[in-house]
Amino acid sequence: MVEDANARAALTDASGRSSTTASNSAPLVLARSVAAQFPYATQLMKASFVLWSRGDFDVERCPVREILSHLGDKWTTLIVIALAEGPHRFNELRRALPDISNRMLTQTLRDLQRDGLLYRQVFPTKPPSVEYWLTPLGRSRLDPLAALVTWAQNTHADVKTARSKFDRSGSVIANVDS
């Protein structure tokens, strides 16, 4: 199997030592194991990454960075989840997400509307009321989001355990197999 220099570089710790040495090959072994379990998805992502990262790489044209920089944030994700069940008015969304500020909710809703992921309708009432709901493009995000939410629920305890273990060790790089 040919080693990819980019993958090897990604497995280098903060001191510049490669973590693919014989004494610490667990991350590389784990990465290969994951790639073997999901060969099509792994190859698709790798091929896409290679295309995006070629010599004339332009950060502004990278579809993953452009989309995920906005759609991957917690408020966008939680608002899309709330709107998945149907239209909501502003205050309904505010109650569904009690820890979001009015300003952040307003800005996130504007960004989602700008990206074509939700509709906004103003009703001519006193005071005016506004209702939001997902567009077909916004609804197309629900399946991948459901997979991410399921993964988060299934791995949350493992992530918390790994964080605690890492924090207790004071390491820059946690040992995968201990």
- Sequence length of the chain is 178
Q: Which residues, 6+ apart, have CB-to-CB distance to 162 below 8 Å? A: 174
State the Cα–Cα distance between residues 131 and 125, nearest whole angstrom.
12
Give per-residue pLDDT as tens, 48-98.
667 666 656 666 767 777 777 777 788 999 999 999 999 999 999 999 999
- Examine the pLDDT at 126 and tell me if it is beyond 70: yes
Please tell me the pTM assigned to this model.
0.64
pLDDT, average across residues 6-16: 39
Largest CA distance in the chain: 71
